[in-house]
């Protein structure tokens, strides 16, 4: 991290020109924008009702009438892929925002306090990362019962630790810098120093990680959907759709392949955007 003594926030905000933005940021941003639009108004783009069954058109291959084909219930795969944006983008946001907020607050406090608090937090982090994340989430979902709500709880219980660790490390560096000492000398309260001055300079890695985390959340959500522990059928969710098609891979590949492509494109959107954001914030410093 840089060790400048600059004051946080307002002074260094420069006007951004589109031409100067990293290509990855623009490409990722466009994918995410399109994904958001599909997630908010899927019916405007989906050619059919995602759960309407058409027994006259079971397992039809891709055609003009059904561009992505139909599944074993005669449901239109394209319509289901589009409607799944609503659930999967919701997973990306809901599964990460809570952990982000809690992790940032706890991390900032722990990083500033140091000493015993930081040592205890360090052991909690060690213990949490000692469990394979997926196994722990599956175990918690098994305790609480399958479904998206319980998945958010399971991810939330664990996920904040990663943000906390990032922020605690950064705050620990920032609090030793001159501007923090200046704040203390001015008689500012610790709360004001932490949240108004240190945090804006310490939050960048957490924000960049947030983007990666949203991509990971979609992978996790669809994995649980595939295992039958996440979104429940007949809901349109990419993991559920891939599970629906897994026994037809040799005869009707389109049921599973297209939802997978949607996962890859959306994940790519988040990671490109995250990379671009990291690059942008790095050059600004």
Partner 1 sequence: MAFLSFIFRRLLQLIPTLAFILVVIFVLVRMLPGDPASAILGDRARDADVTRINAELGLDQPIPVQFGIFLKNIATGDLGNSIHLKVSVASLIADRLPVTLMLTAMAALIALVLAVPLAFVAATRQGRVADNSIRGAFQVGLSMPVFYVGLILLTVFGAQLRWFPVGGFGSSFVDHLYHLFLPALTLALSLAAILMRNLRAAIIGVVDAEYVDFARAKGLRSRLIMTRHVLRNALISTVTLFGLQVGTLLGGAVITETVFAIPGAGRLMIDSIYGRDYPVVQGLALALAVIVSLTFLLTDIVQAWLDPRVAR
Give the interface with partner 1 as residue ranges (CB under 8 A): 123-124, 126-127, 129-136, 138-140, 142-143, 145, 215, 219, 222-223, 226-227, 239, 242, 246, 249-250, 253, 256-257, 260, 263-268, 271-272
Beta-bridge partners for 190: none
Backbone angles phi, psi at 130, to 5 degrees: -75, -20
Q: Which CB sits closer to partner 1, 14 or 123?
A: 123
- Give least dist CB 262 to partner 1, A: 11
Please say whether the beta carbons of 271 and 211 come within 8 A.
yes
Q: In which element (H, E) is residue 26 found? A: helix 23-40
Which residue, 155 or 263, is less far from partner 1 as judged by CB?
A: 263
**Ordered DSSP codes for 55-122:** GGGTTPPS-SSSTT-B-TT--BHHHHHHHHHHHHHHHHHHHHHHHHHHHHHHHHHHHHH-HHHHHHHH
Shortest spacing between CB 26 and partner 1, in angstroms = 16
Minimum CB distance to partner 1, residue 235 (Å): 17
Minimum CB distance to partner 1 smaller for 93 or for 143: 143
Question: Looking at beta carbons only, is 107 or 225 nearer to partner 1?
Answer: 225
> Is the backbone peptide bond immediately before 234 cis, with ω within 30 degrees of 0?
yes
| Shortest CB 117 distance to partner 1, Å | 14
SS3 category, 47: coil
Q: What's the min distance (Å) between Cβ of 280 and partner 1?
A: 17
In whole angstroms, how close is the CB of 242 to partner 1 at the nearest point?
Answer: 6
Q: Which is nearer to partner 1, 43 or 251 (CB)?
A: 251
Torsion of CA 92, 95, 96, 102, to 10 degrees: 160
Q: Decide whether 50 or 269 has the Cβ nearer to partner 1.
A: 269
Could you identify the residue written with the tokens 């904040």? 160
The Cα 139–Cα 125 span in angstroms is 18
């Amino acid at each position: 991290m840089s060790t400048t003594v600059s004051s946080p926030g307002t002074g260094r905000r420069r006007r951004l020109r589109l031409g100067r933005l990293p290509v990855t940021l623009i490409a990722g941003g466009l994918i995410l924008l399109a994904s958001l639009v599909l997630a908010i108004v899927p019916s405007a783009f989906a050619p059919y009702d995602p759960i309407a069954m058409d027994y006259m058109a079971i397992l039809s291959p891709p055609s003009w009438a059904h561009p992505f084909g139909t599944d074993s219930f005669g449901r239109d795969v394209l319509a289901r892929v589009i409607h799944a944006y609503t659930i999967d983008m919701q997973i990306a946001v809901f599964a990460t925002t809570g952990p982000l907020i809690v992790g940032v607050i706890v991390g900032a406090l722990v990083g500033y306090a140091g000493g015993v608090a930081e040592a205890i937090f360090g052991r909690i982090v060690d213990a949490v990362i000692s469990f394979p994340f997926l196994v722990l989430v599956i175990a918690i979902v098994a305790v609480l019962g399958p479904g998206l709500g319980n998945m958010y709880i399971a991810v939330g219980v664990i996920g904040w630790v990663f943000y906390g660790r990032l922020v605690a490390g950064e705050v620990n560096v920032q609090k030793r810098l001159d501007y923090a000492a200046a704040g203390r000398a001015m008689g500012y309260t610790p709360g004001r120093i932490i949240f108004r001055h240190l945090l804006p300079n310490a939050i960048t890695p957490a924000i960049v990680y947030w983007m990666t985390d949203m991509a990971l959340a979609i992978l996790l959500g669809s994995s649980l959907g595939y295992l039958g522990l996440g979104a429940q059928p007949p809901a349109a969710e990419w993991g559920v759709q891939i599970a629906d098609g897994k026994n037809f891979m040799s005869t009707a590949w389109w049921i599973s392949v297209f939802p997978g492509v949607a996962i890859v494109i959306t994940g790519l959107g988040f990671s490109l955007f995250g990379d671009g954001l990291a690059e942008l914030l790095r050059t600004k410093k």
